[in-house]
Amino acid sequence: MILEIKEVCKSFHQPRSGIIEVLNRVSFNLARGETNAIIGQSGSGKTTLLSLIAGLDNPDTGQVILDGENLCTMKETRLARYRAQKIGIIFQQFHLMPHLSARENISLPLEILKQEQISKRTDGMLEKVGLSNRQHHLPGQLSGGECQRVAIARALIIKPALLLADEPTGNLDIRTGEKVAQLLFDLVENENKTLIVVTHNPNLADQCQKIRTLDRGRLI
């Protein structure tokens, strides 16, 4: 198993509504090479679940075990490095660095991890997502679909054990969203990646091997 989620609970304090229980004893496993979609209404806890899987937040109780290591008990500096090596994340709002070019955004994870052959690997990735002719553009000079392709390339360039995508087509028009989804699934399939995608989009969910639904804090 690449990922084991065990009995995870998460609540938030909100000034008006008091404590809200977002995830209630959520458990599931993900095998290497498997693709899963997580669907559910807005506010059902999908993003919260992804941030726990990504080690960006801690559950109140329960465990998140990524490639054999429990993220919840890892020290912060080690967790940061483990996360950078193991997980690629694609967000709805792209989250690119605005002052870096497409090329620099894509190579950044390799720079941070002090990897080798950065230039060659970046060239290869630009090619794969069809952005070689846009590599020196800043995010502000790119279309939404192009920005999301940069984000996909940045997530994949470290060859992550687990790829997470939160509404990756949510900010794109339907046609662009379909193209980006196609690219994402082609890359996932060709490279036998493990993927969790959170989405409202039934077309995206249908391309995954399994679909799980979050409903009132429970995974069904």
Ligand X SMILES: Nc1ncnc2c1ncn2[C@@H]1O[C@H](COP(=O)(O)OP(=O)(O)O)[C@@H](O)[C@H]1O
In the window 1-30, what residues touch ligand X (CB under 6 A)? 12, 14, 20, 22
Q: Where are the beta strands (DSSP E) in 96-209?
A: 162-166, 195-198
**Separation between Cα atoms, residue 146 and residue 70, nearest integer Å:** 35
Shortest CA distance to 177 belongs to which of 166, 168, 189, 190? 168
Residue 94 CB, nearest approach to ligand X (Å): 17
Of residues 96 through 155, those in contact with ligand X by CB under 6 A are none
Q: Which two tokens stand for residue 203?
A: 């077309």
Q: Which of 3, 35, 40, 197 binds ligand X (CB under 6 A)?
A: 40
Which one among 24, 47, 51, 171 touches Mg ion, defined by CB under 5 A?
47
Residues facing residue 39 across a β-bridge: 213
CA 88 to each of CA 53, 109, 175: distance values in angstroms, whole numbers, following the listed order: 11, 10, 24
Q: Which residue's CB comes closest to Mg ion? A: 47
- How far apart CA 127 and CA 116 sit, in angstroms, is 19
- As measured in angstroms, the least distance from the Cβ of 20 to Mg ion is 15
14 binding partner (options ligand X, Mg ion, none; Cβ < 5 to 8 Å by kind): ligand X
Instruction: By CB under 6 A, name the one of 2, 9, 24, 47 that touches ligand X.
Output: 47
Tell me: does residue 54 bind ligand X (CB under 6 A).
no
Contact between 168 and ligand X per CB under 6 A:
no
- Asked if 36 contacts 197 with a C-beta cutoff of 8 angstroms, the reply is yes
Q: Which stretch binds ligand X (CB under 6 A): 46-54, 104-112, 177-185, 186-194?
A: 46-54
Tell whether residue 43 is a contact of ligand X (CB under 6 A).
yes
Alpha-carbon distance of 79 to 70, in angstroms, equals 10
The residues near 75 (Cβ < 8 Å, ≥ 6 apart) are none
The count of residues interacting with Mg ion (CB under 5 A) is 2
171 binds Mg ion (CB under 5 A): no
Q: What residue ranges in 40-154 does DSSP mark as E strands?
A: 61-66, 69-70, 87-90
Taking the complex as a whole, the smallest distance from the CB of residue 57 to ligand X amounts, in Å, to 8
Q: Residue 62 interacts with ligand X (CB under 6 A)?
A: no
Please report, as ranges, the residues that interact with Mg ion according to CB under 5 A.
46-47
Please report, as ranges, the residues that interact with ligand X according to CB under 6 A.
12, 14, 20, 22, 40, 42-48
